Structure 1
Amino acid sequence: MRAVIQRVNGASVVVDGRTVGEIKGRGLCVLVGVTHDDTEEKAARMARKLWTVRLFDGEGEDGPEQSCSDLGAPLMVISQFTLYGDARKGRRPTWNAAAPGERAEPLVDEVVAQLRSLGAQVETGRFGADMQVSLTNDGPFTVLVEV
């Protein structure tokens, strides 16, 4: 399982002209990709990582010291099969490493459910939909996480 995490000052997802998810203020916008061997255990591990990874500035001088769990900051979680795209050969990427929708959707849902069970406020996109994602990247600050 792979996630691209962006520290944001607000994010929203629009599908068919309607906002389906939105966070205001500081939080994380997380794009989640699922591959063939991912499991519910990996989804739970990803959720714990997203909730506790320290990406927000604190009082110290050594870099980010606070997490969403420390701040009660919201997360926007969006499925993103293209994180497993491979464009090393030719001019067209392949998606062979991305899990099919019937396998990926329940695992993305599990990441969201696990985050909520940890106490997180979570907004989402809509699996498989044509989504317009808007965000204000704070920093810019973007991190890749794999579990």
Structure 2
Amino acid sequence: MPNPHALPPYQYAPADYSTAGLPPPHQVHAIPPGVHDQSLPSPEQQQQQQQQQQQQQQQQPNARTLSQSKRAEQNRKAQRAFRERRDQHVKALESRSQLLDAALASADEANRRWEECRALVDQLRIENAALRSALSQAQVMSGNNSLNNPSGDKGGEKTDT
């Protein structure tokens, strides 16, 4: 490591900064006459830079407004499309609800008719059972009569022979 005292001295005197972080006002570093520093712009360049900055500042709010207006328009379109889709979905659900209500009413009517038919079938079964019972009793009675009346008279009918 080189000796720190062997380094070349500063090209300018170091500034003494106060506690506020600013150099004391009595020290001003001036460029000697005849030496042009490229880092410092001329007054004309400064004026051009200021004009460019003003133009950029004027364009930036317009650009922001333009992008904001584009975004706002895009949001309006998206909201409109969403509302249209929502309305279509609601209409489809209402239509489906009406169809389901009609199907439910039809099913209720079919169920009512089925219950009526079932009750009718039950009545017919009871009537059929009663008729079969009456028929079997009649056959039993006629069988007894034929045993009691061998001539073939049915129920005491008279024949002309």
Band the TM-score falls in, shorter-chain normalisation? under 0.3
Q: Which has the larger radius of gyration?
A: 2
Decide which structure has greater strand share. 1
After TM superposition, the score normalised by the length of structure 1 is: 0.18
After TM superposition, the score normalised by the length of structure 2 is: 0.17
Greater RCO between the two (CA within 8 Å, min separation 6)? 1
